[in-house]
Amino acid sequence: MNYVVYNTHPFGVFAVSEEALTWINERSDTPKSQTYLYDNRHDPILVDCVCILGEKSWAEFSELEIFDIGESTKYRVCKHNVAGEEWVETPDNIEWITI
């Protein structure tokens, strides 16, 4: 199974707490220096951090959730232009328009 971390706070940003950043850096070969720089939302260390720390992994104005993308290796994290709330799309859950 593959998992992706995303933000569900309606007016927030994707970011981890300082405690989560420390937790991640203790387990990572490539330490992060800022709580909001995370390009790899499927990083197993990030997923484990959110799973284990729960709400303690959230930065201010973030509510991090884990999305199970199953066996898929393709996903994208989408968000509204103004709000920070995100959702995850995979080839299986996109509502395609057929012409």
* Domain regions of the chain by residue span: 2-89
Share the mean pLDDT of the chain.
91
Alpha carbons 86 and 4: distance in angstroms, whole number: 11
92 or 64, which is more confident: 64
Instruction: State both tokens at 84.
Output: 């920070």
Alpha carbons 8 and 28: distance in angstroms, whole number: 25
**Residue 64: predicted pLDDT:** 96
**Could you read off the pLDDT of 61-78 as tens digits, one per residue?**
999 999 999 999 999 999
Per the CB < 8 A criterion, the answer to whether 92 and 70 are in contact is yes
Q: Is the pTM of this model over 0.85?
A: yes
Nearest one of 94, 78, 97, 74 to 86, comparing CA atoms: 78
Q: Which residue type does 18 have?
A: E
